[in-house]
A = this chain, B = another copy of it.
Amino acid sequence: MQKSAIKNGNIIMEEDALVPVTVREVQSNFSVYEALRVVNRQVVHLNDHIERLKASAAQIGLVLPSVPWQEWIDMLIEKDNLCDVTMRILVYGGSKAVVFITWQPLITYPDSYYTDGVAVTTYFGERFLPTCKTSNLLLSYLALNDAKSKGAFEALLVDRHNQVLEGTRSNFYALMGNTMFTAPDNEVLSGVTRISVLRAARQLGLDVVMRAVKLEELENADSMFISSTSMAAMPVSKLDGKTVPCDFPVILKIRDLVRKWEVE
């Protein structure tokens, strides 16, 4: 099947979703993006994603055009008869902004990732404009490649103060006793799913503390997990090759609440 895409409100063939390498905004990744879950033909948390897209754009001075997002997404769902997919909105700035919407099969993970946990590695590096979802992604790309080369699923980014802030495509949480630690909103990408994770944790009676834990503190953690639109909440069972403790039931309860609220 020939996949379609949206460019500035028009249906195009996905293979025509192209940008010229001679344009400065392309050369300099002056662009913002969002990854969205479409479940049963419905976009999950569209408004939250669009709000974050707007916030990212505002932060770098990228002027977003006025777009009927729901309508454009529905055009693509209709055209390719999509049911469950992961969509990507990408907006390049410049004298005339260019908006792309593309899709791929829904990103899902084997059940064993949730029941056994995943392996993560650590990588020293700080995201430029951490609260902003731009295409300036080379650090994340290199960190994730490093993790994969070690057989791990995700890399956690560690800053100059040895703080474990977030993953390359996920937020990060550490449980110690009844307290759940996660970096404050101004130090990381405030994930759309993170909002649900925090709500779920509180509902389950955890104390939520918005403070990044240091790498050395992780030795005292009772559990760690990561979250993203695709993962919901995913338990971590290995850190830099070493098995770490994990309270699976509580993390899976968080996951289940996150997924439940998606379709409400």
Contact = CB atoms under 8 A, between A and B. Distances in A.
Interface string A21-33: 1101111111001
Contacts of A135: 27-29, 138
A196 interface: no
A191 to B, nearest CB: 18
Interface string A1-32: 00001000000001101111110111111100
Nearest to A145: B61
A209 interface: no
Nearest to A102: B22
B24 A141 contact: yes
A118 interface: no
A19 B17 contact: no
B28 A138 contact: yes
Contacts of A15: 20
Interface in A121-144: 125, 128-129, 134-142
Interface of A: 5, 14-15, 17-22, 24-30, 33, 60-61, 88, 90, 100, 102, 104, 125, 128-129, 134-142, 145
Closest 7 CB pairs of A and B: A28-B141, A18-B18, A136-B138, A28-B137, A29-B29, A17-B21, A29-B138
